[in-house]
Structure 1
Amino acid sequence: MPSAITDRSVAPADAAFLAAMAALAGGVCVVTTADPEGRPVGFTSTAVMSLSRSPQLLAIGVDQASRTLPALLGRGRFALNILRADGESVSRRFADRTADRFAGLAWTTDEWDVPLLTAYSAAVLSCQVARDVPAGDHRLITASIRRILPGAEDGGALVHLGRRYHPLPVRSAR
């Protein structure tokens, strides 16, 4: 049974859409880049999909109101950090608009000074923006994969479903 929407500011049609989307599981990622001054910025996203194997492309949806969007488009490069099963606290931190998102976290940069969260990720994809398309209250960003960095071995995956996090450990094949 879907959970009820209690926010009275949400129209009934929007509530139905949100409930339906809550039934769609999404892998939890953190998109990171740097602003023009070189400061690391990022946000949590489940609006991510692989788009093409040849050439290697992916797509992300970014809210038009995102404070990270100008830096992402300005830099033209970002990292897609695919969170491990134990990455809920990192996801929550990057979803919090008031948090100092990188404070106290282990992170590095790639050759383009894009911040990487390798220590918390099952994999990190270094990306270059290929296209930016308006899509309602979001932007659809397609990107080419420049490099893939492995993360933790057997780190599993973090999934968001039913408005909750679900860690999925990797099971050994027998």
Structure 2
Amino acid sequence: MPSATTDRSATPTDAAFLAAMAGLAGGVCVVTTAGPEGRPAGFTSTAVMSLSRSPQLLAIGVDQASRTLPALLGRGRFALNILRADGESLSRRFADRTADRFAGLDWTTDEWDVPVLAAYSAAVLSCQVVRDVPAGDHRLIVASVRRVLPGAEGGGALVHLGRRYHQLPAEYAR
């Protein structure tokens, strides 16, 4: 009988899965939307991917337990704020379940009244939800990109790898 280390059909442990995924670099974004009364909501995400060029689609993974998920699905629109290299503190704020995430921040809204964090972002994509797919303990949200808004100048990129943040200078994005 094969051992667990050589049996390729064995289901990985949760720790092994998390350790393996920690080796996959992810761009750090903040997803923002507005609730029913227009109250801003948002969360940090590295579960973002470009899905299609024509039509322009992207996908985000959202935890089923996210307090922002009902607002996101209710509004049907969100902004994907791609954080600049210096955005670690903002990322941590939007990952903190107890923080007043928008307090004291410089934010505006787009033409659909969705909160936008352009001052902290390399770029912002205004999106409309086109599909919501259950995916284990998450939802896979497929969205159409309606508009690309410029972010702050010279931002570089913030990535998450090995359970740590890393800053990539702007010249890496060229």
TM-score by length of 1: 0.91
Q: Who is 2:88 aligned against?
A: 88
TM alignment of 1:113-124, pairs within 5 A: 113-124=113-124
Counterpart Cα distance in 2 of 1:172 and 1:30: 21
In structure 1, distance between residues paired with 2:171 and 2:37 = 43
Alignment match, 2:55: 55
State which structure, 1 or 2, has the greater radius of gyration over its C-alpha atoms. 2
What are the residue-to-residue correspondences of 1:1-174 with 2, within 5 Å? 13-171=13-171
Does the 8 Å contact 2:29/2:46 carry over to 1?
A: yes
1:43-91 residue CA offsets vs partner (Å, 9 max, x unmatched): 0000000000000000000000000000000000000000000000000
- Residues 100-125 of structure 1 show CA distances to partners (whole Å, capped at 9, x for unaligned) of 00001000001111000000000000
- Aligned structure 1 segments of 4 or more residues deviating by more than 6 angstroms: none
How far the C-alpha of 1:152 sits from its partner, in A, is: 1.8
C-alpha RMSD of the superposition: 1.3
C-alpha distance in structure 1 between counterparts of 2:152 and 2:71, whole Å: 28
Aligned length: 162
- For each residue in 1:133-164, what CA deviation from the matched residue of structure 2 results, as whole angstroms up to 9, or x when unmatched? 00000000000000000112221000000000
User: Residues 88, 54 of structure 1: CA spacing in aligned structure 2 closer, same or farther, 3 A cutoff?
Assistant: same
- Counterpart residue identity of residue 24, structure 1: L
Corresponding residue of 1:5? none
Structure 1 residue 170: Cα displacement: 1.5
SS of alignment partner, residue 171 of structure 1: helix
- The alpha-carbon deviation at position 172 of structure 1 amounts to 8.1
Gaps of 5+ in 2: 1-11
Aligned AA (1:137): D
Identity of aligned residues (%): 90
Q: Distance in 2 between matches of 1:172 and 1:139?
A: 31
Amino acid at match of 1:35: G
In the alignment, is the contact (CA less than 8 A) between 2:156 and 2:172 conserved in 1? no
